[in-house]
C-alpha cells in the first residue's frame, strides 16, 4: 500500500494522457488523464453503460482511442511498432466481463494456451501449473470440463485463472465478482490482494461492488456519462469522506445518503 512505501514516489506503470474514446464518431469519454502506479489496485467506477469496459479495451489495446495516449512504463502503446505492442501485451492478463473462455477448449487447455504460447515448459509441468491456477480460484478437478458445462460464476473464475496463467505484471479484471456469491466475492478480493502482494502485480479492476471497492482499492477514477469525463479520482475511502460531488457520493453510498 502507498503508506508502506513511505515518501518514495511510486513508479508509474500505466499513464493515460488526454484520452478520448468512443465508437465511430460517437465520443463516450474525453480528456481522460490518470496514472496507475506499480502495486496499485486501481478501481474504475461508474454507472452501467458509461464506458468502463470500453476504457479497459482501449488500455489493453483492443480498441484504438480517438485521441490521446496510453503509456506502459513510459512506452506509448498506440504509437509503438508491433513488436513493442507484443512485448507489452505479453505482460498483461485480462479477465473479460463475459469471461471469454475459448469454448472449443477445456478449462485446462484454456489456461494452458498462454503458457504454451510464451514458454518452453514441458507438457507435464504446464499441466501442474494449470492445476495450481485452477485450484487458486477454487476450480480444482474441473480441468476437463468445457466452458459450456460450468456455471457463469465458475466461468468467471476460470477466466481469472487464465488471466493469471503467465503471472503477468499487470492484471485487468472487468467485473470479476459479478455473478459470484458474497463469500466467493470476498475470497476473490483476498486473492487479488494476495496476487498484488506476492507477485508485485499491478491490478486494474472495473467493479460496481462497493464492498470490494473499499476493501481492496487504493486508487480509483470515477467516470461520469453526463460530462463525459473523469469527475473524481483518488483513494475510494478518501473520496467517500472528502468528495463534494453529489454524483460520487451518491454512487459510493448506493444513493442512500
- 3-state SS, 198-212, equals HHCCEEEEECCCHHH
* Core vs surface per residue 188-213: b (16+ CB within 10 A) or e: bbebbeebbeeeebbbbbbbbbeebb
Whether the Cβ atoms of residue 147 and residue 158 lie closer than 8 Å to each other: yes
Does 28 interact with ligand ATP (rule: CB under 6 A)? Answer: yes
Cβ at position 23, least distance to ligand ATP in Å: 4
Which of 37, 54, 207, 220 binds ligand ATP (CB under 6 A)? It is: 54
54 binds, among Mg ion, ligand ATP, another protein, none (CB under 5 to 8 A by kind): ligand ATP
Contact 126/67 with Cβ under 8 angstroms? no
- CA distance from start to end of the chain: 29
34 forms bridges with which residues in the sheet? 16
Stretch that binds another protein, among 37-45, 95-103, 183-191, 237-245 (CB under 8 A): 95-103
Of 48-56, 69-77, 87-95, 156-164, which part binds ligand ATP (CB under 6 A)? Answer: 48-56
Query: Rounded to the nearest whole angstrom, what is the least distance from the CB of residue 250 to another protein in the complex?
Result: 14
- d(C-alpha 82, C-alpha 65), whole Å: 17
Question: In a 3-state reduction of DSSP, which class is residue 42?
Answer: strand
Among residues 49, 141, 152, 182, the one that binds ligand ATP under rule CB under 6 A? 49
Would you tell me which residues interact with ligand ATP (CB under 6 A)?
Answer: 23, 28, 46, 48-54, 97
Would you tell me which residues interact with Mg ion (CB under 5 A)?
Answer: 53, 97
Would you tell me which residues interact with another protein (CB under 8 A)?
Answer: 23, 26, 28, 47-50, 57, 60-62, 86, 89-90, 92, 94, 96-104, 113-114, 117, 162, 225-226
Amino acid at each position: 500500500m502507498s503508506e508502506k512505501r513511505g515518501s518514495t514516489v511510486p513508479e508509474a506503470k500505466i499513464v493515460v494522457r488526454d484520452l478520448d474514446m468512443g465508437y465511430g464518431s460517437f465520443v463516450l469519454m474525453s480528456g481522460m488523464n490518470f496514472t496507475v502506479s506499480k502495486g496499485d489496485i486501481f478501481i474504475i467506477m461508474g454507472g452501467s453503460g458509461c464506458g468502463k469496459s470500453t476504457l479497459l479495451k482501449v488500455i489493453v489495446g483492443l480498441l484504438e482511442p480517438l485521441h490521446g495516449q496510453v503509456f506502459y512504463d513510459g512506452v506509448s502503446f498506440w504509437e509503438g511498432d508491433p513488436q513493442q505492442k507484443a512485448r507489452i501485451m505479453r505482460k498483461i492478463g485480462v479477465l473479460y466481463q463475459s469471461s471469454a473462455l475459448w469454448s472449443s477448449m477445456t478449462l485446462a487447455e484454456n489456461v494452458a494456451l498462454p503458457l504454451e504460447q510464451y514458454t518452453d515448459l514441458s507438457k507435464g509441468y504446464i499441466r501442474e501449473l494449470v492445476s495450481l491456477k485452477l485450484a487458486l480460484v477454487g476450480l480444482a478437478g474441473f480441468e476437463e470440463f468445457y466452458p459450456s458445462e460450468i456455471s457463469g460464476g465458475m466461468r468467471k473464475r476460470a477466466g481469472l485463472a487464465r488471466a493469471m496463467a503467465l503471472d503477468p505484471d499487470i492484471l485487468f479484471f472487468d467485473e470479476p465478482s459479478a455473478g459470484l456469491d458474497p463469500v466467493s466475492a470476498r475470497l476473490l478480493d483476498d486473492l487479488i490482494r494476495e496476487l498484488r502482494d506476492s507477485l508485485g502485480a499491478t491490478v486494474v479492476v472495473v467493479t460496481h461492488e462497493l464492498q470490494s471497492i473499499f476493501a481492496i482499492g487504493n486508487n480509483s477514477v470515477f467516470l461520469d456519462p453526463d460530462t463525459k469525463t473523469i469527475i473524481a479520482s483518488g483513494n475510494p475511502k478518501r473520496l467517500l469522506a472528502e468528495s463534494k460531488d453529489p454524483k460520487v457520493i451518491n454512487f459510493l453510498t448506493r444513493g442512500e445518503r
